[in-house]
Amino acid sequence: MQMKARTTGLAAMAIIIALLPITFPNPYYYDIADTALFNAVLCVGLNLLIGYTGQISLGHAGFFALGAYASAILTLRWQVPPLAALLAGAVAVGALAFVIARPILRLKGHYLAMATLGIGIIIYIVLNTEGWLTGGPDGLMADNFTVLGWKIKGDGSWYWVGGGLLLLAVWLSLNLIDSPVGRALRAVHGSEVGAEVVGVNTTHYKVLVFVVSAVFASVVGSLYAHKTGLITPGIGSFFRSVELVTMVVLGGMASTFGAVVGAIILSVLPHVLTTFEDYEAVVLGLIMMSTMIFMPKGLVPTVMRRLRRRRAAA
Amino acid sequence: MSLLRVNELSKGFGGVLAVADLSFTINAGTIHSIIGPNGAGKTTLFNLITGVYRPTSGRILFDDVDITGKRPYELAALGMSRTFQNLQIFFNMTAVENVMVGAHLHLQPRLLPSLLHLPSVRRRDAACRERCLELIEFVGCGKYRDADAASMPYGALKRLEIARALASQPRLLLLDEPAAGLNATESREIDDVIKRVAAQGVTVVLVEHDMKMVMGLSDHILALDYGRKLAEGTPEEVGKNPDVINAYLGAAN
Amino acid sequence: MFAEFLQYLLSGITVGAIYALAGLGFAIIYNSSHVINFAQGEFIMIGGMATSSLVAAGLPMWAAVLLAVLITMLVGVALEYFAVKPARNADVVTIIIITIGASIFLRGMAQIIWDKESHSLPAFSGETPIHLMGATIVPQSLWVIGVSFLAILVLGWFFNRTLFGKAMLATAYNRLAAQLMGIRVKRVLTASFGMSAILGAIGGIVVTPITYTNYEAGVMLGLKGFSAAVLGGLGNGMGAVVGGLIVGVAESLGAGYISSAYKDAIAFVIILFVLFFMPSGLFGKRGTERV
């Protein structure tokens, strides 16, 4: 049953990703779509931490930015091949996440929110300040991404990379959730002490998922740097972290497809709202508040439940 | 044949001793009950034994191994599990998934194989699911097997917690007020489950207020008051003990 | 040497007083509702912006201040009524998103109603610096410190000496019991948002002559206030005040002696350090989980 739902979901996503470009009237749409896909991949990872394991992070943009800067710095200054730079960034960010995870994840609720927020802001300030390495507020250029002589260039090619990566991320996430590790993560969310007494080392799993979600963010950050060609500290700001959490919560916590939907909506929204210009912040704030008030479980789970109920009634 | 030995155990909360200088032994293969008026320190004692709290002083030995200060998950690996007075169900999961978390230790949960859903993981998961469904059947929750835990009635959740604990294949099972909040019929069903668990060779320790249940089930009873041992012995001995009667009836005597 | 230190200390206490007010605002709301109000910084911004525009419109200072405090209070009450109350039983993450949404919304409104420029206010009693053992201090700093101190005193009196204040404390301690004793818990919630907004507005008004204000000025002030509240132990009012002063002074000393670029990072480094070793802040209750 579950297997079937998973394959249908993945297949539907693959078809949408494959056919969507037909509807793009101009190349600018690829640029928006790329950003949406990248955010979606990041949110699938963040959802493992927030949605499934129930641990909030208000600093994930920091890990994204570190991945981006690692790639830009390594490829540009030391001519490291892009793929190697991406992996080095991921390992470094994973190691950093591992070191801070243990003390941080002992905290709960608002204290955890405060600590992760603090980490994010410190990363942001370091990127802004250490200009000799990061270029400071002006940012840093990054080159094209080349793997084995093949150059990913232009928003069109990045679209297929992002699409493929998203399918992979969703597949991995769905696998994980329906596995012993995934159940342990969800058990941590359900009741930590209840999980402990049947042998789940909750600390271990919290650290694990924190590292995994940070690595997701780092990898996406690396690719983002190569795609846009110019990165600034702003990509690691507090606002950006909040935006990522909002994507996850808006789409639906503890729903992999929800994270994807939330990421896409919030990535596309600013482009729809450009016509309102000054009202962008007001509308975004209103959307955040009203979805949380009227659909605290998020879009996808709420819609799914309504559909199921209607089917049950029919 | 002592499975669990508690030596001069004490736990203080800001100067008040909830458990004071307590020593007792639990033998393998018995149903052992801990009774006492509200606030006697029963749940605190459970939390100490299962590693949820750290004792202020004293030792706890499980199978002659010193387990003082070990965390609950380590104790689970040694063969100890428990249920809770206030449900600690995973309400974000289905009934069978709850029980499958109980089998966590027997599944070799590793990240990479889980991410890739390797055939070995799937095979083990399928087998695990079968065993867990049997356990759900065993505690009498068969009709809820794939229901969301959040939609199950209270009485069924109490039994689901027992099934989850059993899935970890414990040698010692601690049940904290398994009949609390249940009606007479449900109480009898729990009673029956406990008997069948014990019959499989699992040592059971109960905290329970339902005296009828305690007297009917237990091989051995430990009575506490203000964190201290009041009496210990067979149900008949404890039931006749004047201190126990006094503690329960209090000023009325 | 000493003069320099004194200089940093004085400016640290000045900003620290603002952080203390913001932290107190967090604590009051947290106590009555267990909500962390990420829009607390926006109260500070609205207080400053409203006063500045009312003065520019020709109102005398005292009238502008009163009106601005009133406006901010109404914003706080509206926030509780429209955004927080409907989500009463939601979990922590949901409410965090709601109040962050509210802060973004308020910032957006400020940008529409006013603009993106910096705004100022004339200093309350001139700008002639006062010399003090080699350090200088502008009179407005004394206003900031004095008014904050007064606000904290009034608040202390309110909570300890008035019936409604005691009712608020009782609600914080045990909501259900308070309700059973006939305390109108709903009114307490509304009042806590109103009071926090007033505190924020007061802070915003007295500090604007020194720091200026703009539609985004509340973000960092709010986050520092949150740090102050967490540092002191969430829900502990006096803790938040001490936390605010610690953050302010540490920031000022750090900026002076270590690096001014890392000024804003210092608060967060301190908070991480404290949380690593004292997971419930300096004066927070160490709770034992009941199972």
**Choosing among C288, C289, C291, which should be mutated to test the B contact, i.e. which has the most B CBs within 10 A?**
C291
Q: Which residues contact A11 (CB under 8 A, 6 or more apart)?
A: none
Residue A6 lies in a domain: yes
Nearest CA-CA partner of B223 in B212, B234, B213 = B234
d(CA B192, CA C167): 50
Q: For residue C126, what is the DSSP state? A: B
Residue A246 lies in a domain: no
Average pLDDT, stretch A278-301?
Answer: 88
How many distinct structural domains can be found in chain C?
Answer: 1
Query: What residues of chain A lie within 8 A of the CB of B111, using their CB?
Result: 181, 208, 212
Residue A44 lies in a domain: yes
d(CA A59, CA B194): 48
**Choosing among C100, C219, C278, which should be mutated to test the A contact, i.e. which has the most A CBs within 10 A?**
C100
> Å from C236 to nearest chain B CA?
20
Phi, psi of B66 (to 5 degrees): -70, 120
- Give the pLDDT confidence of A28-41 residue by residue, as tens digits: 899 899 999 999 99
Angle CA A19–A22–A24, to nearest 5: 120
Phi, psi of A147 (to 5 degrees): -125, 125
- Radius of gyration of chain C measured on its C-alpha atoms: 19
How many distinct structural domains can be found in chain A?
Answer: 1
d(CA C175, CA C169): 10
Residue A118 lies in a domain: yes
C97 closest CB neighbour out of A106, A115, A288: A288
For residue B223, is pLDDT > 50?
yes
Phi, psi of B198 (to 5 degrees): -65, -35
Say if B13 is an interface residue toward chain C (CB within 8 Å).
yes
> Å from C126 to nearest chain A CA?
35
Residue A312 lies in a domain: no
Q: Between A277 and A50, where is the model more confident?
A: A50
Q: What is the pLDDT of residue A289?
A: 93
pLDDT tens per residue, chain C (291 residues)? 788 999 999 999 999 999 999 999 999 999 888 889 999 999 999 999 999 999 999 999 999 999 999 999 999 999 999 999 998 778 888 888 899 999 999 999 999 999 889 999 999 888 888 888 888 889 999 999 999 999 999 998 998 889 898 988 888 888 888 888 888 888 889 999 999 999 999 999 999 999 899 999 999 999 999 999 999 988 888 899 999 999 999 999 999 998 888 988 998 999 898 888 887 788 876 555 555
Say if C6 is an interface residue toward chain A (CB within 8 Å).
no
d(CA A120, CA A115): 9
d(CA B43, CA A192): 18
Q: For residue B25, what is the DSSP state? A: E
Nearest CA-CA partner of A225 in A26, A38, A27 = A38
Percent of chain A with pLDDT over 70: 99
Q: What is the DSSP string of B110-163?
A: -HHHHHHT-HHHHHHHHHHHHHHHHHHHHTT-GGGTTSBGGGS-HHHHHHHHHH
Q: For residue A16, what is the DSSP state? A: H
Residue C102 lies in a domain: yes
Query: What residues of chain C lie within 8 A of the CB of A60, using their CB?
Result: none
Chains touching chain B, criterion 3+ CB pairs below 8 Å:
A, C
- Give the pLDDT confidence of B17-41 residue by residue, as tens digits: 899 999 999 999 999 999 988 888 8
Say if C216 is an interface residue toward chain A (CB within 8 Å).
no
C227 closest CB neighbour out of A50, A114, A126: A114
- Give the pLDDT confidence of A138-171 residue by residue, as tens digits: 999 888 887 777 777 777 889 999 999 999 999 9
Q: Are the beta carbons of C291 and B84 separated by less than 8 Å?
A: yes
Residue C130 lies in a domain: no
Residue type at A27 in one-letter notation:
P
> Å from A253 to nearest chain C CA?
10
Domain ranges, residue C159: 2-117+136-277
Chain C (72-131) residues lying within 8 Å, Cβ to Cβ, of chain A: 83, 86-87, 90-98, 100-109, 111-112
> Å from B84 to nearest chain C CA?
7
Domains in chain B, start-ordered, CATH in brackets? 1-79+170-253 (3.40.50.300), 90-167 (no CATH)
Confidence category of residue A217, pLDDT binned at 50, 70, 90: very high
Q: For residue A48, what is the DSSP state? A: I
Residue C161 lies in a domain: yes
ipTM, two decimals, is 0.92
Q: What is the pLDDT of residue B161?
A: 96
d(CA A240, CA A235): 6
> Å from B198 to nearest chain A CA?
19
C-beta of residue B118 within 8 angstroms of C-beta of residue A179: no
Interface list for chain A against chain B, based on CB atoms closer than 8 Å: 172, 175-176, 178-184, 186-187, 189-191, 193-202, 208, 212, 254
Query: What residues of chain B lie within 8 A of the CB of A197, using their CB?
Result: 50, 52, 72-73, 75-76, 81-82, 88, 165
A182 closest CB neighbour out of B90, B108, B114: B114
Q: What is the pLDDT of residue C88?
A: 79
Nearest CA-CA partner of A244 in A4, A32, A41 = A41
Query: What residues of chain C lie within 8 A of the CB of B88, using their CB?
Result: 291
- Give the pLDDT confidence of B156-171 residue by residue, as tens digits: 999 999 999 999 999 9
Residue A146 lies in a domain: yes
Average pLDDT, stretch A228-242?
Answer: 93
Q: Are the beta carbons of A289 and C227 separated by less than 8 Å?
A: no
C36 closest CB neighbour out of A110, A121, A296: A110
Residue A270 lies in a domain: no
Residue A247 lies in a domain: no
Confidence category of residue A207, pLDDT binned at 50, 70, 90: very high
Q: What is the pLDDT of residue C104?
A: 94
d(CA C215, CA C49): 8
Beta bridge partners of C213: C119
Q: What is the pLDDT of residue C67?
A: 97
- Kindly give the residue spans of alpha helices, DSSP state H, lying in chain B: 42-49, 72-78, 95-102, 111-116, 119-138, 154-167, 184-199, 211-217, 235-240, 242-249
Burial category of C277 from C-beta neighbours within 10 Å (exposed 0-12, middle 13-18, buried 19 and up) = exposed
Neighbours of C69 (CB within 10 A): 22
Q: C-alpha dihedral over C102, C103, C106, C108, to 10 degrees?
A: -110
Query: What residues of chain A lie within 8 A of the CB of C221, using their CB?
Result: none
Burial category of C218 from C-beta neighbours within 10 Å (exposed 0-12, middle 13-18, buried 19 and up) = buried
Secondary structure element (H or E) that encloses residue A274, with its range:
none
Side-chain half-sphere of C63: how many Cα atoms within 13 Å? 8
Q: Are the beta carbons of B115 and A175 separated by less than 8 Å?
A: yes
Side-chain half-sphere of C58: how many Cα atoms within 13 Å? 0
Domain ranges, residue A106: 2-237
Q: Are the beta carbons of C290 and B86 separated by less than 8 Å?
A: yes
Residue C21 lies in a domain: yes
C-beta of residue B88 within 8 angstroms of C-beta of residue B45: no
Q: What is the CATH number of the domain that holds C143?
A: 1.10.3470
Chain C (272-291) residues lying within 8 Å, Cβ to Cβ, of chain B: 288-291
Residue type at B193 in one-letter notation:
V
